[in-house]
């Protein structure tokens, strides 16, 4: 049995390959979905079924055929495609209005964003592996300094993490890339330091190169990313998987900020506890 597609490109290829063997109704559904990906990203199943000339149960059956638990799970791939292809906020807004026919007012948007972020925050503790969290803290505690990197949308997460680490008396450096010097800043990481990279799909090339350089030099690497299939997760010593809220193709950073705040404060608690620990004979021998 073929694996469930992980992105729109894989899904499109599977639909194309399976098309000749599909029933007439599923072929009709396939043609509509591939011809109208923008509408599929945002419209309800009922509206899409009406436009495609099929029943809502046909959409569910179509999604099940390709390994999805339901239509909404498959719909996420169409939404992710729009996020990747329409980086400009104005274009996304137009895409949403075109697909849904909606012009939501400001209060409606506030409720939608607040509710979506509330849900991801409630789910965050259950999605983070406690062992991975402790391993990340082990790396940070033993590092002489922590270098933090993220670009574009996630840059603010790296900026906050650097700020928070410095306030718990941990040496931290923001890999800002100012003047186009990402490479130079990465090369300045010491052998006893650690690197934290925050990167989500479509995974910035600068972040990938930084992670690869850390692996090549044997520098401990912790990544915060959005999937175990992320190219950064595959090379990291520790990967922390975060699912951010998404409203009409606009993704938040609430969960990422919550996780980085937790990491910084938990590290501060560890360091404070270590300072309070009475010296051992072994410590005295190194005095």
The answer to whether 151 and 161 have CB atoms below 8 angstroms apart is: no
pTM summary value: 0.66
Is 137:270 a contact under the CB 8 Å cutoff?
yes
| The CATH homologous superfamily of the domain defined by 128-276 | Glucose-6-phosphate isomerase like protein; domain 1 (3.40.50.10490)
Reduced to 3 states (helix: H, G, I; strand: E, B; else coil), residue 84 is helix
Q: Which of 121-125, 132-136, 228-232 has the lowest mean pLDDT?
A: 228-232
Give the model confidence (pLDDT) of 237-279 as tens digits: 999 999 888 776 678 899 999 999 999 999 999 988 887 767 6
In tens, the pLDDT along 50-98 reads 989 999 999 999 999 999 999 999 998 888 877 665 556 566 666 666 5
Q: Is 50 exceeded by the pLDDT of residue 34? A: yes
For the chain, domain boundaries: 8-100, 128-276
CA distance 19 to 13: 10
Distance in angstroms (rounded) separating the CA atoms of residues 129 and 127 = 6
Assign domain 8-100 to a CATH class. Answer: mainly alpha
pLDDT digits (tens, 9 = 90+) for 154-188: 999 999 999 999 999 999 999 998 888 888 899 99
- DSSP string covering 2-29: PPPP-SHHHHHHHHHHHGGGS-HHHHHH
SS3 123: helix
């Amino acid at each position: 049995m073929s694996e469930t597609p992980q992105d729109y490109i894989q899904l499109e290829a599977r639909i194309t390959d399976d098309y000749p063997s599909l029933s007439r109704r599923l072929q009709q559904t396939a043609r509509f979905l591939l011809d109208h990906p923008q509408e599929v990203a945002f419209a309800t199943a009922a509206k899409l079924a009406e436009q495609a000339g099929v029943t809502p149960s046909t959409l569910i059956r179509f999604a099940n055929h390709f390994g999805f638990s339901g239509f909404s799970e498959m719909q996420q791939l169409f939404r992710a495609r729009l996020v990747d292809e329409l980086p400009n906020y104005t274009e996304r807004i137009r895409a949403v209005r075109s697909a849904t026919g909606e012009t939501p007012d400001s209060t409606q948007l506030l409720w939608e964003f607040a509710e979506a972020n509330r849900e991801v925050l409630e789910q965050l503790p259950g999605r983070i592996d406690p062992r991975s969290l402790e391993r990340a803290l082990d790396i940070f505690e033993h590092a002489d300094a922590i270098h933090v990197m993220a670009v574009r949308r996630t840059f603010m997460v790296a900026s906050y993490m650097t700020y928070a680490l410095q306030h718990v008396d941990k040496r931290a450096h923001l890999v800002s890339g100012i003047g186009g010097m990402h490479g130079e800043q990465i090369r300045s990481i010491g052998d006893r330091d650690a690197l934290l990279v925050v990167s989500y799909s479509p995974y910035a090339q600068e972040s990938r190169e930084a992670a690869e350089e850390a692996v090549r030099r044997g520098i401990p690497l912790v990544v915060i990313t959005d999937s175990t299939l992320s190219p950064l997760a595959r090379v990291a010593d520790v990967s922390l998987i975060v699912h951010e809220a998404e409203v009409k193709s606009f993704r938040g950073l609430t969960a990422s900020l919550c996780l980085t705040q937790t990491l910084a404060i938990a590290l501060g608690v560890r360091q404070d506890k270590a300072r309070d620990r009475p010296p051992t004979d072994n410590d005295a021998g190194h005095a």
